[in-house]
Chain A
Amino acid sequence: MQKPVKRGSGMGISWYNPRVRSIVYQAGVLAAVIAVVWFFTATAQENLERLNISTGFGFLDTTAGFGIIQTLIPYTEQSSYGRAFLVGLLNTLSVAVIGIVLSTMLGFIVGVARLSPNWLLSKIAAAYVEVMRNIPLLLQLFFWYFAVLRPLPGPAESIEALPGVFLSNRGLILPDPVLDAGAGLFFGALAAAVVTGFVLVRWARARQRATGQLFPALRVAAALIVVLPLLAWAIGGSPFHLEYATRGDFDFSGGVRLLPEFVALVLGLTLYTAAFIGEIVRAGILSVDRGQGEAAAALGLRDSTTLRLVVVPQALRLIVPPLTSQILNLTKNSSLAVAIAYPDLVAVFAGTVLNQTGQAIEVIAITMAVYLTLSLATSLAMNWYNARIALRER
């Protein structure tokens, strides 16, 4: 049997052709997946119809009617469920972002401390890691929440640390900075300083590469970022004023407020995740061969330079992928917020909205899609960063 032989299909359409075989397998798997999805969708739809449960996403435009204690965007009881969803999402994001930054910083400190030759420091770091990662996060959240609340006085006896700064069990209340005319100059100066600093650093790096001459670009840039806006501030005649919170019968009104629920959640998530990140950092640093440090020392590099230019870049290659999982974990763990009444996405949307509308499938699907999107976006960003710092073999 003579057939025109194509590349990669040595035997034409025959079972013994691995290409054909793999296509058949894959078609089978695909058909099975489609069948299963179809089956579940059909069953769910049938049941919903039979039980007279209304479906669809129309409820997102309906008036929500309930209050939320922390809203980063304007929200009232007359706002829609869709708006409540956004409020919850932003609350989740704010906790996640702050938690990620803090836990990464603390994690690096703990990881380095555990490797310190100082016996006490390394043992303290070890004890911290072992305690934090072996106690369930939910318990820690309760602990922090009620531990934060217990010593704080009521709003009537609140501690006034600085003029206009009040600390009570209603939260930390700060004066609200309000911009006056002339603030534009300040922000313009700040932006100009940042851009100039960035350009300066790049120029210094290029020059060092070309000529070997060093220029203290970072220090100059930092000075620029401090001095320029200050100048603009002075010229603009300090274009801010602070609006102080006023004390009412029960509580303060006005001002900027940091809720105890928020503090407890950030504290709990940060301390818990930092323990894991600390171990990841320690593993990363230990993975760098001792010879690398010795070679750097032999070249006459200082310890700090060795750490910055030799050890950390190599350790990062091992640190970043597991760090990504910890960041994802922190974001997902923030959904425990509902236990301590922080109004995150799960509490507001998958809690109150779900109960008021009864649209379980839609609400849970949206909530899952949000967490999936957040996780995928984080992974994507971290993978991009990982690819940038990965060892480039030449």
Chain B
Amino acid sequence: MRNPVAALLLGILIGVGGLYFVLPYDAAAVLAGRGTTPATAVETEPGAERSGAGETLRRVMRRGFLQCGVSQGLAGFSSPDERGRWSGIDVDYCRAIAAAIFGDGEKVRFRPLSAKDRFTALQSGEVDILSRNTTWTMSRDTQLGFDFAGVIYYDGQAFMVRKSSGITKAEQLAGATICTQTGTTTELNLADYFRGRGLDYRVLSFEKNDEAISAYDQGRCDGYTTDASGLYAERLKMQRPEDNIVLPEIISKEPLGPVIRQGDPQWADIARWTLSALLNAEELGITSKNIEEMRESENPLVRRLLGAEGSYGASVGLGPDWVIDIVRAVGNYGEIFERNVGVDTPLGIERGLNALWTDGGVMYAPPIR
């Protein structure tokens, strides 16, 4: 640099300029009490944007679509077909939210996340909601800065073994090697199960499910463990699915639910009440087929749910037809279940615990009134 004055200015600019960006940042936070982040912070880390009440919804509306974190491919929950279209329970839940917001269940983009990366993706704001067969546990709820919107599927961890091994009970697995995926609650449940019974075991944790399955399939492990629903889904990927059986024991409680960041109560309400709307719709017999007739219903419960009475949609920043849009887009909870994992699908899972409370299950949604 020839010109000394310009060089001096540059040096000072770099130094003081850096400080300039930092000082008002802290000062502003102190001045505003609760603090507002200046524009510089937002530009540097878009995900770390302050998500106060309503901020997430505003951001989603501005963007024009919902960013939804799903699994990398778990049949029945979230998996892309050969044309790249996603389907599954977790996927339909995100479509339901998109329908509630935009009136169009297609305004959602899916981001496949590994078990290991999912929480960081939500924390950093990369996704608006994590709908990825995630178990609701106290530590996740309290330590990671998350809220769970409820339970969309009651699952439990189980084992799959080869029929030829002659095993019929999980307790016979003493001394066995078990394959699983790392970064999930399954590793801990597995350890707890064997430790609690004083049994010996070996665990092989793979980063991706596909490798774990293929190692099990090649005989590296005696058993494979994950949530029961996942076992049925993964069994379809094996060389000879019929040679493997799922053991009857359920060794853990796995209430799977959608996850959102803490700090935006309105967004948490949208997530929670979308789930409730799906369940209430099933309870009241509202389906994607009869939705138009149901709009004329005289039943006050139906009228409130469908927005003919009261303004429940507006209370969470949505339009009055939000439930109608949801049901039109994906149907009610029962329809979602039967379409993706029900007895007529390759997975063939019974409703079981996931039936409505009126049908002997534990699905019980708070009423919309």
CB contacts (< 8 Å) of A21 on chain B: these are: 4, 7
Binary CB contact string for chain A from 191 to 221 against chain B (1 if under 8 A, 0 otherwise) = 0000000000000000000000000000000
Q: Is the CB of B174 within 8 A of A31?
A: no
Q: Does B8 lie within 8 Å of A24, measured CB to CB?
A: yes
8 Å CB interface, B56-90 against A: none
Pick from B45, B190, B202, B207: contact of A43, CB below 8 A: B45
User: Is A34 close to B, CB under 8 A?
Assistant: yes
Closest B residue to A50 by beta carbon equals: B263
Residues from chain A with Cβ under 8 Å of B188 in the complex = 65-66, 356
Q: Is the CB of A358 within 8 A of B139?
A: yes
**Interchain CB contact under 8 A, B25 and A347:** no
A340-B211 contact in complex given A21-B4, A51-B263, C-beta closer than 8 Å: yes
- Give the docked Cα–Cα distance between A50 and B184 (Å): 25
Q: Mark B112-141, 1 if CB is under 8 A from A, else 0.
A: 000110011001000000000000000110
- For window 37-58 of A, CB contacts with B under 8 Å fall at 38-39, 42-43, 46-48, 50-54
CB of A188 closer than 8 Å to a CB of B? no
Cβ–Cβ contact B202 & A69, under 8 A: yes
Partner-binding segment picked from B12-20, B247-255, B312-320, B328-336: B12-20
CB contacts under 8 Å to A, within B225-258, are none
Are the CB atoms of A43 and B41 closer together than 8 Å?
Answer: yes
Q: Assuming A35-B18, A154-B219, A248-B175, is B207 touching A351 (CB within 8 A)? A: yes
A24 engages B203 (CB within 8 Å): no
Chain A's closest residue to B120 (CB) is A360
- Say yes or no for B299: interface residue by CB 8 A criterion: no
Per-position binary interface string of chain B over residues 46-60, scored 1 when its CB falls under 8 Å from any chain A CB and 0 otherwise: 001010000000000
Cβ-defined contact, B50 with A50, below 8 A: yes
Contact B207 A149 (CB under 8 A): no
Q: Is the CB of B123 within 8 A of A38?
A: no
Neighbouring B residues of A48 by C-beta, 8 Å: 145
Complex Cα–Cα for A68 and B14 (A):
49
Complex formed: what's the CA distance from A357 to B183 in Å?
A: 10
Contact of A29 among B14, B16, B208 (CB under 8 A): B14
Q: Is residue B191 contacting chain A, with contact meaning CB distance below 8 A?
A: yes
Question: B residues within 8 A CB of A170?
Answer: 177, 220
Q: Is the CB of A250 within 8 A of B175?
A: yes
The distance in angstroms between the C-alpha atoms of A164 and B144, with both chains bound, is 49
Least distance between A346 CB and chain B CB atoms (Å): 9
Contact of B44 with A by CB under 8 A: yes
Residue in A closest to B144 when the chains form the complex, CB atoms: A358
Residues of A within 8 A of B182 (CB): 338, 341, 347, 351-352, 355
B183 touches A32 (CB 8 A): no
Please tell me if A146 contacts chain B, counting CB pairs below 8 Å: yes
Write out the residue numbers on chain B whose beta carbons fall within 8 Å of the beta carbon of A149. Answer: 215, 218-220
B21 CB–A CB distance under 8 Å: yes
- A51 closest partner in B (C-beta): B145
**A49-84 near B? 1/0 per residue, CB < 8 Å:** 011111000000000011111000000010000000
List which A216-239 residues lie within 8 A (CB) of chain B: none
Once the chains are docked, how many angstroms separate the CA of A34 from the CA of B191?
Answer: 45
Please tell me if the beta carbons of B22 and A15 are within 8 angstroms of each other in the complex.
Answer: no
Q: Is there an interface contact between B15 and A31, defined as CB atoms closer than 8 Å?
A: yes
Is the pair B18, A36 in contact by a Cβ cutoff of 8 Å?
yes
Chain B nearest CB, measured from A151 CB (Å): 10
| Cβ B175 vs Cβ A340 within 8 A | no
Count how many chain A residues have C-beta atoms less than 8 Å from C-beta atoms of the other chain.
Answer: 61
- Residues of A18-36 whose CB lies within 8 A of B: 21, 24-25, 27-32, 34-36
A51 to B123, Cβ gap below 8 A? yes
CA distance A169 to B215 in the complex (A): 10
Known A-B contacts A251-B177, A338-B182; A358 and B143 likewise in contact (beta carbons under 8 Å): yes
Residue of A with least CB distance to B164? A154
The distance in angstroms between the C-alpha atoms of A28 and B1, with both chains bound, is 15
Q: Are A25 and B11 in contact (CB under 8 A)?
A: yes
In the complex, chain A residues whose CB is within 8 Å of the CB of B262: 51-52
B222 part of interface (Cβ distance < 8 Å): yes
If the complex has contacts A338-B182, A352-B205, are A169 and B11 also in contact, measured as CB distance less than 8 A? no
Chain B's nearest CB lies how many Å from the CB of A120? 36
The smallest beta-carbon distance between A343 and chain B, in angstroms, is 7
Q: Of all chain B residues, which has the CB nearest A359? A: B143
Q: Is A393 an interface residue (CB 8 A)?
A: no
Please tell me if B206 contacts chain A, counting CB pairs below 8 Å. Answer: yes
Given the interface pairs A35-B19, A65-B191, A67-B191, the reply to whether A250 lies near B222 with Cβ below 8 Å is yes
Chain A residues with CB under 8 Å of chain B are: 15-16, 21, 24-25, 27-32, 34-36, 38-39, 42-43, 46-48, 50-54, 65-69, 77, 142, 145-146, 149-150, 154, 169-170, 248-251, 253, 260-261, 338-341, 343, 347, 351-352, 354-358, 360
Q: List 19 A-B contacts (CB under 8 A).
A: A28-B11, A42-B25, A43-B41, A43-B48, A47-B48, A51-B123, A52-B145, A53-B144, A77-B195, A338-B207, A340-B206, A341-B211, A347-B182, A351-B182, A351-B183, A355-B116, A356-B187, A358-B139, A360-B119
The 6 closest A-B pairs by CB, nearest first: A35-B18, A51-B145, A31-B15, A28-B11, A355-B183, A28-B15
Known A-B contacts: A31-B15, A51-B123, A145-B215. Give 11 more (CB < 8 A). A32-B17, A35-B22, A39-B22, A52-B262, A65-B191, A146-B214, A149-B218, A260-B220, A341-B182, A343-B205, A351-B182
